[in-house]
Amino acid sequence: MAKIGGCDLTHFQKIIEGFTRFMSGGAFPAFALSLLFSWSAFIGVMLFLPGNSSGLGAFAEEFRVWCFGYDPATGRTEVAYVMAMLLPQVMLAGFILGLWWAPLRSMSQRPSAFIPHIAGAALLVTAAGVGFAYSGAAPPEGELPFPAEALRTAYAPPELVLTNQLEQTVDLAALHGHVVVLTAVYASCPHTCPAILNQAKAAIAELDPSDREELRLIAVTLDPENDSPQVLAGLARNHGLDAPLWNLVTGESAAVEETLDRMQMARERDPETGVINHANLFLLIDRDGRLAYRLGLGDRQQRWLVSALRVLLREET
């Protein structure tokens, strides 16, 4: 019996031997492949499950909005987003098959040996999906309604005269009588910009068509040196953002940066990656041209965005 300093190492040796057998045999790759397959199946369910106001249906629709660029108003899903979710799993599965081909081939002679791994992976993914759905899909019971009066401001909005994706001049001052949502994104943003656009799309989709005609959304580029009107037109096409409702605007770098400063849009470019870390803000401007609300990202903020837009759209000039 091996001992070091009076400690019995037999138990630890058995653990190491068991772990080695698990990793070198067919058990680990079988479970890993089952987990990848179960996750891919879960993505498929989220992609095609009909939407609903609560439970799994509500979670599925929210999942599609955030992960697949789904537009509830048009029913359009971004294929590139779906491929981005599935391709890493396919590549990882190929890597596992190549590295553990011999033990998997040996294990395949006893198909029943795969059943515990498939069942365990499916149970794990199902439990995680159901847990996320029922913990985050619906607003918490008893949540306070949108505090319209408490959050309301009446500041002068930032001056903004820039060029949209159609190379048309967008003058914020000329939009008097409309409700305006003002935010900031950039075309190559890998993280929060798609979430900003998707949250705005989801909120707008909940409005009546007649209300959408009274609404304008302006997204100022955070990367004016690279985001030309043509680049922004590509971003608009990819996300289904049509003018005149959607205006992705750019201009001379100095003018854009000055506009972002007036918006109090905190931002900083990482010198190594080029990624721009920035605030995630929606500035809501009422029909009289006053800055009424400042909102951010998140489930509650999305519900409040819908409520705030309805409040402002009901007002008269």
Residue 137 pLDDT class (50, 70, 90 cuts): very low
**Count of CA atoms in the C-beta half-sphere (13 A) of 143:** 12
Residue 255 pLDDT class (50, 70, 90 cuts): very high
pLDDT value, residue 309: 96
pLDDT value, residue 72: 57
Instruction: Convert the pLDDT of each residue in 2-26 to its tens digit.
Output: 555 555 567 667 777 766 776 777 8
User: What average pLDDT does range 263-292 have in this prediction?
Assistant: 93
- pTM (global) more than 0.85: no
Q: What's the DSSP call for residue 248?
A: E
206 versus 142: the higher-pLDDT residue is 206
pLDDT value, residue 74: 54
Structure token pair of residue 289: 């041209």
Q: Before 244, cis peptide (omega within 30)?
A: yes
Lowest mean pLDDT among 4-13, 55-64, 136-145, 199-208: 136-145
Instruction: Convert the pLDDT of each residue in 67-80 to its tens digit.
Output: 776 655 456 677 87
Residue 194 pLDDT class (50, 70, 90 cuts): very high
Instruction: Convert the pLDDT of each residue in 231-246 to its tens digit.
Output: 999 999 999 999 999 9
pLDDT value, residue 18: 67
Q: What domains lie within the chain, and their CATH numbers?
A: 12-136 (no CATH), 148-314 (3.40.30.10)
pLDDT value, residue 214: 95
- Of all helices (H) and strands (E), which one includes residue 218? strand 215-221
Report which of 183, 291, 312 is spatially closest to residue 241, judged by C-alpha positions: 183
pLDDT value, residue 86: 87
Question: What does residue 268 show for φ and ψ, rounded to 5 degrees?
Answer: -160, 130
203 versus 56: the higher-pLDDT residue is 203
Burial of residue 154 (number of CB atoms within 10 Å: 0-12, 13-18, 19+): exposed
Question: What does residue 249 show for φ and ψ, rounded to 5 degrees?
Answer: -115, 150
Instruction: Convert the pLDDT of each residue in 56-113 to its tens digit.
Output: 676 777 777 667 766 554 566 778 778 888 888 899 999 999 989 998 888 888 888 8
* Type of residue found at 172: L
